[in-house]
A and B are shown apart, each in its own frame.
Chain A
Amino acid sequence: MTQEAPQDVESVLTPEVKAMIGVAGEVVESWGTVDVEYLRRFTQAVMDPDPRYWDEEFAKSTHYGAIIVPPIMISYMTQRIRPDAEDAITAAFEENPMSDGIGSVKRPGELPEIPTHLVRTLNAGNEIEIYQYPNIGDVIFFQNRYQDIRERVGRDGKPFLIITREITYTNQDKALLCITRQSSIRR
């Protein structure tokens, strides 16, 4: 793939699209806290038997001093449907009886749409950076941000966008827990 659109190809990295770089959403508090039951279900589902997740006496004796929690586990707390929100599953099927089950219900903290005519979306990759293990009882806060938007040209000569969305996760003490990034292709 070439880096940038040639001169005779209309760029899709318009000033309006470029202006979205750095745009951040509100800081959102996830529903609930990091709790032992979610930790048990998550670590069993990912098949990690580490006693640092469930043996309190052992965990206290380790480098971390307490039960630890996989940082990526808290990233899924952001998609929880709040009890005071509409039932997103029912809404999705009312909107479309052939819904894929996740529908188009907006979640808190979402970023504004990129102003582009390109509609097809493909996953281009993920990143994670880990700085501190969450602990039981933590309240999780997250914030979305458009970290980068770049233009590339495909083999078909048509330009497309690579949009990287960054999510920063902190706790009630404003400690940085982890950062995730998801890049998607819009063409």
Chain B
Amino acid sequence: MSAPLEELLKMNREEIQSHNERPTADELRNKTQTYYEDVNVGDELPKYIYSPTPTHLFRWSAAIENFHRIHYDLDFGLNHDKNPSILVHGSWKQSVVPQYLKDFTLPKGWPWKAAFEHRAMLVPGDTLIVWAVVTNKYEKGGMGFIEMDLGMKTQDGVESMPGSATVVLPLKDGADIPYPFVPPTD
């Protein structure tokens, strides 16, 4: 059972880290299906905890060929752009979201869509908590749709990426979710 977000935010960074629920490769390999019927409004999804360092930021910049100096050049960030430090990429944050939804819906659900805004600046040294809470569920076209609020909070409770998502889960006695995914029509 995931520790409630409210409780996590009362902890220090080390304690928050100890509640990290990011799955290992083997856990993803062997993951059992969460069905539509298993989910209730108000449920909290697992919490993914990150502690980005300058090297993590550099690795991301290199991976996606983002050469913006605010992410790796501390002198430029501090003195030219007047930022508090080098900054965690918005692109990294938004790439974590589909991964988070994919993991929740594996092996046969579908991480359909998400929307979010970028708010607070995040810097190396921050402890980041990816969270989600189920806000609605409904059946349509023989599939189960789960809507949720989600975000990425810092250890101080600052929300840096308020958002929402809709994923699709199979019904226990239902058919597989079609792949490629085709949303049901009205």
- List the interface of chain A (C-beta within 8 A of B): 38, 41-42, 44-52, 55, 58, 62-64, 70-73, 76, 79-81, 89, 98-102, 123-132, 175-176
Given contacts A64-B179, A70-B99, A128-B98, contact A80 B65 (CB under 8 A): yes
The 6 closest A-B pairs by CB, nearest first: A132-B180, A45-B63, A76-B64, A49-B25, A101-B69, A125-B117
Residues of B contacting A102 in the complex (Cβ-Cβ under 8 angstroms): 66-68
Could you tell me the distance between the alpha carbons of A76 and B92 in the complex, rounded to whole angstroms? 11
- List the interface of chain B (C-beta within 8 A of A): 22-25, 28-29, 50, 56, 59-60, 62-70, 73, 76, 80-81, 90-92, 94-99, 102-103, 107-108, 110-118, 176, 179-182
Given contacts A63-B107, A101-B68, contact A71 B28 (CB under 8 A): no
Point out which of A42, A51, A81, A131 has the most chain B C-beta atoms below 10 A from its C-beta. A131
Contact A62 B114 (CB under 8 A): no
Contact B95 A46 (CB under 8 A): yes
Contact B68 A175 (CB under 8 A): no
Residues of A contacting B108 in the complex (Cβ-Cβ under 8 angstroms): 63
Given contacts A63-B108, A126-B94, A130-B110, contact A47 B115 (CB under 8 A): no
Contact A132 B110 (CB under 8 A): no
Residue ID in chain A nearest B100 by CB atoms: A48
Residue ID in chain A nearest B28 by CB atoms: A50
Distance in Å from the Cβ of B62 to the closest Cβ of chain A?
7
Could you tell me the distance between the alpha carbons of A102 and B62 in the complex, rounded to whole angstroms? 13
Residue ID in chain B nearest A177 by CB atoms: B180
27 contacts between A and B (CB under 8 A): A38-B63, A41-B62, A45-B62, A47-B50, A50-B102, A55-B29, A63-B179, A72-B95, A72-B98, A79-B64, A79-B66, A100-B69, A100-B70, A100-B80, A100-B81, A102-B68, A125-B115, A126-B94, A126-B116, A127-B116, A128-B114, A128-B115, A130-B111, A130-B112, A132-B180, A132-B181, A176-B180
